[in-house]
A and B are shown apart, each in its own frame.
Chain A
């Protein structure tokens, strides 16, 4: 029953690293854990389901034409089948025409690299390591919208169409201007921060455009969570935020975990931090000149009273014993 074959790859990989006793413990826990899920006791009857769907239908105007008359369900099925064929045929025709346009364009900078992309409207985007942007093929024709994951510096050409950047939780809207956005996927909650260098821009939670703040040059604002509101913009030195573009390294009051992830991306390394309790301590770190990963890791360890050792392709940071 607990044959390893039924386990996922990642679990096998994890189990392989353990001694036999731990392996058995983990297998036992994994098997038993399923049974601790009390929600399995919750069940929904067909009646309850129908009632809920009726509410949904009345609120959305859906008419599935299946009023579920138990005495004669068959005619309904035949009718819906015809309807589905027509819908399916229409979908195929439309899908064939639109499928090319529906394939988005994506550019990314791999770990250890940066990339500069010129968009169809001649705006340029400089991508920090491990970041990507996506836009659709109608960019510059019907809209100028891009999605960003990670960090990038935008220099936007002035056009009539607004230029819009979406992140996991926020939206930035401008006409022509230059700005930096940071929105990494591995922060503990969805978070986006924007620094404006030239022009002006509007920054708002994607779900609540009315909660927008307007930034002036050299101002910064950030937004946490899906349902948060943007922080009041404040003046900052833009050099620190834009340090990454000159291969410099600067973070002000940032949790260690995010600094570690940035080192991993910038230098294409893997860093394991053994004492988990330090990961959310905040740290300010700034180098004026080009710096290598060894130096940064060494300085972090010194400030946190930790030690580190080099392994193939990265570092292990551990407690001083």
Chain B
């Protein structure tokens, strides 16, 4: 989605606001997969992620007259998808708690496909998942979604400066863990 310019998003916002169905379809085609991946990070399930994004686009269309073209349509939809994902997790929590043990057992049997250079990948993934919630969210939005601090600020409803603090704290955190990991394993990476 990095390839879609802010200008493109604001053109879509203006057209969609005035009821342009084609612009809506174009935006859907260009961004659907990306938002599905974002929702998948919450649900870990493709079908529910697609349902969530489907609902989000429906909401976007129904509320199109409230769109503010001076604000980012990209982050607006991120926020809707995030809220819908959290609602989904909340609503399904009761059902999934019994399942958790089974899933954890499954997870441990997953074998990572590792090539030589990526010995770091598995521990790094674990460290990222163990970051404090807000740090983790800011870090992932920055690194995985490629969003700017200002965009992340809108999605997380905090100031851009706080976003920077979270991400810098996350990097410090990961750096510390990497350092002690290197010290323990005695290995050297370039």
Please list the residues of chain A having a beta carbon within 8 angstroms of any beta carbon in chain B: 8, 10, 14, 21-22, 24-26, 28-30, 32-40, 42-44, 48-49, 52-53, 55-56, 59-60, 62-64, 66, 80, 83-84, 87, 90-91, 94-95, 102, 104, 168, 185-186, 188-190, 226-227, 276
Contacts and interface: CB of A to CB of B under 8 A. Distances in A.
24 contacts: A25-B179, A28-B189, A29-B174, A30-B143, A32-B121, A33-B124, A35-B118, A36-B121, A36-B124, A36-B125, A36-B128, A38-B125, A49-B28, A49-B29, A49-B33, A52-B53, A55-B54, A56-B58, A60-B62, A84-B22, A91-B15, A185-B153, A186-B158, A276-B169
B176 to A, nearest CB: 9
A14 B171 contact: yes
B41 interface: yes
Interface residues of B, number: 59
User: Which are the 7 A-B pairs with shortest beta-carbon distances?
Assistant: A39-B37, A36-B125, A37-B144, A44-B33, A25-B175, A64-B25, A39-B40
A10 B37 CA distance: 26
A64 B53 CA distance: 19
Interface in B148-173: 148-149, 153, 157-159, 162, 164, 167-169, 171
Contact of A53 (B20, B28, B33, B140): B28
A42 B43 CA distance: 12
B171 A26 contact: yes
A10 B179 CA distance: 22
A2 B134 CA distance: 27
B97 to A, nearest CB: 21
Interface in B17-48: 18, 20-22, 24-25, 28-29, 32-33, 36-38, 40-41, 46
B36 A44 contact: yes
- The dominant DSSP class at the B interface is helix
A35 B175 CA distance: 17
Nearest to B20: A87
B140 to A, nearest CB: 8
A210 B41 CA distance: 33
Contact of B175 (A29, A44, A80, A94): A29
Contacts of A29: 124, 171, 174-175, 178
Nearest to A45: B33
A90 B15 CA distance: 11
Nearest to A36: B125
A55 B143 CA distance: 32
Contacts of A10: 149, 164, 167
Contact of B21 (A8, A28, A63): A63
A52 B54 contact: yes
B83 interface: yes
A94 B18 contact: yes
A168 B157 contact: yes
A49 to B, nearest CB: 6
A132 B4 CA distance: 31
Contacts of A63: 21
B158 to A, nearest CB: 5
Interface in B102-129: 118, 120-121, 124-125, 128
A271 to B, nearest CB: 12
Contacts of B50: 44, 48, 52
B157 A32 contact: no
